[in-house]
Amino acid sequence: MIKPGRWARDARRVMAAMPVLRMGRVPDAPALPVRDPWPGDPARGARLLKDEMVLCGAVHRLAPGSWASTQGRESLRAAAHGFAWLRDLRALGTDAARTRARTLVADWMATPSLERLARRPDVTGARITAWLSHYDFFAASADDTFRTRLMGRLVADARMLAASMPAEELDARALTALKGLIAAAVALPDHAAFLTRALRFLPQEIARQVLPDGCHVERSPAAQLAALQDLTEIRALLQAAQAHPPTALASAIERMAPALRVFRHGDGGLALFNGTKEESAPLIDLVLHQTGRSSRAPAGLTEGGFHRLQAGRCVLVVDCGAPPPPGIDRLAHAGTLSIEVSVGRDRMIVNCGAAPAAGPAWQDASRATAAHSTLVIADTNSSELRPCGIGRHPNQVEVQRQEANGAHWLEASHDGYLASFGALHRRRLYMAESGEDIRGEDAVEGAAAQSYAVRFHLHPSVGAALQPDHETVLLRLPGGTSWRLRAEGVQMSLEESVYLGGPDPRPAQQVVLAGKADGAQQVKWAITKVA
């Protein structure tokens, strides 16, 4: 059965596409400039000259004549149709880069049978924003025919986007769609209805996506960063148009900026929770600068369910929240109660990261509980992984936190294994005021004993050596400090792992504490600096 809201949206799309309704004045050029505030990568721009678009470590063929193809991962094709890669050609800055940008845009407009993905609201919004914000780079010096076709397509796409509101996507991608419509309203002031429609839905979208503590509802540092980028761009666009922004916009930016800081390690990058890679530290700095907020990171995000323990040079971030509900869980991992630890600029304990542009097998592997620094029972995920989200998952995640004299105590539990094994996972954490003594206890609480493993994935830059007693691993960080990870009463091993947090996969190691069903159902461990 078709929902009334979707039926009305589809009807508006049909009407927007009718030739008689598409008539009207098409401007010769954008009336007001739209600025792209984010830096491009000239190295990626050089790859584009070779028909290669690079995204999240994957390569997608991007050449004239390739637009109708449905080969490759959906995320890669969506990025191709979204044209944000124009900033990489702009960063390259050569005549060849300008010519390639113009050629690809012209070829896209001339393709008669674009796939449905190219018309998705967030993809359309990204494309409108990219074309307008790079107009001076690839279109201003083009011939009249090209510019006329470009402006006509911008108007047509903006009308279709307006008809698609509210966007079907309930996650961060809806903000990208709204941003595109507002960009069109700024550059095409004769179409005032675009802005009216965008401002109608912007406050409700912000209310749906931004939690009271500033955490994005998807509980993903990557989504947090992307949403904050979109919102700061929207604010700049409204200022350029001298339009009054909704109160909710400034409030959301003010809350989201410090919340983003919760996820930053000492190297400036992001913690690897729920579909996140490290990202560029200079980009994150720029985003925070654009917000105008210079506040420190809060100790935790109550609604978002993340806690940050910081003392001395040590930062520990822990996921203490239930996964997001259906419809906004596309990035969710089965990593409840996982931790990451960094010392200064060195990452030590990590999660494996994300492979958003890889195939299903790699995506499932990176989302599994075993790919996170937490406890897993009987090699079973704490949340059921599905292609577009999760199924069974923890419903209750309880957490208590105390601080005294610079030291931190945190106790948390989740019931993700209750239905499958009748068990709870309880994790207790302590960080001394120096930051050089971290202690933990993981317990499986249930009527029946279970086999389990507590995993500590190590960053690839960390050197690790298992000691003869099989109760200690010595860790050597790039900065020169050494740390000791020790545990008693369980089998400790050093195994292979993989790190997906950077541009390319890298081999890594993990420390595994294996508990048996006929053994103790709790393990105490400690990570201490070697004097």
Report the candidate in 376, 381, 387 with the shortest Cα–Cα distance to residue 326.
387
CA distances from 343 to 21, 149, 289, 404, 479 (A): 60, 54, 24, 21, 9
Long-range contacts of 135-143 (CB under 8 A, 24+ apart): 135/29, 135/30, 135/33, 135/34, 136/33, 137/86, 137/89, 137/90, 137/98, 137/101, 138/86, 138/89, 138/98, 138/101, 138/102, 138/105, 139/102, 139/105, 140/29, 141/98, 142/102
pLDDT, tens digit, 9 for 90 and up, residues 389-416: 999 999 999 999 999 999 999 999 999 9
Structure tokens at 166: 């509210």
Residue 31 burial (CB count, 10 A): 12
Mean pLDDT of all residues belonging to the chain: 93
The residue among 281 and 18 whose pLDDT is bigger is 281
Assess contact for 454 and 444: CB atoms under 8 A: no
The separation between CA 335 and the C-alpha centre of its own chain, rounded to angstroms, equals 15
Q: What percent of the chain has pLDDT over 70?
A: 95
pLDDT, tens digit, 9 for 90 and up, residues 11-66: 444 445 545 444 457 888 999 899 999 999 999 999 999 999 999 888 999 999 99
pTM, full prediction: 0.94
The separation between CA 132 and the C-alpha centre of its own chain, rounded to angstroms, equals 25
Check whether 326 has a pLDDT greater than 80. Answer: yes
Lowest mean per-residue pLDDT among 125-134, 217-226, 294-303, 513-522: 294-303
Q: What is the mean predicted confidence (pLDDT) over 454-460? A: 98
Q: What is the mean predicted confidence (pLDDT) over 231-239? A: 97
Check whether 3 has a pLDDT greater than 80. Answer: no
Check whether 242 has a pLDDT greater than 60. Answer: yes
pLDDT at 71: 85
* Bridge partners (DSSP) listed for residue 373: none
Q: Alpha helix locations (H) across 317-412? A: 360-367
pLDDT at 58: 87
Assess contact for 89 and 98: CB atoms under 8 A: yes
Q: What percent of the chain has pLDDT over 90?
A: 83
Structure tokens at 198: 């965008």
pLDDT, tens digit, 9 for 90 and up, residues 155-214: 999 999 999 988 766 688 999 999 999 999 999 988 889 999 999 999 999 999 999 999
pLDDT at 12: 46
User: Is 301-529 assigned to CATH 1.10.150.20?
Assistant: no
Give the confidence band of 251 by pLDDT, cuts at 50, 70, 90.
very high
Q: Where are the domains of the chain?
A: 4-209, 301-529
| Residue 166, preceding peptide bond in cis (omega within 30° of 0) | yes
pLDDT, tens digit, 9 for 90 and up, residues 469-526: 999 999 999 999 999 999 988 999 999 999 999 999 999 999 999 999 988 899 999 9
Give the confidence band of 531 by pLDDT, cuts at 50, 70, 90.
confident
pLDDT, tens digit, 9 for 90 and up, residues 288-303: 999 987 778 899 999 9
pLDDT at 169: 63
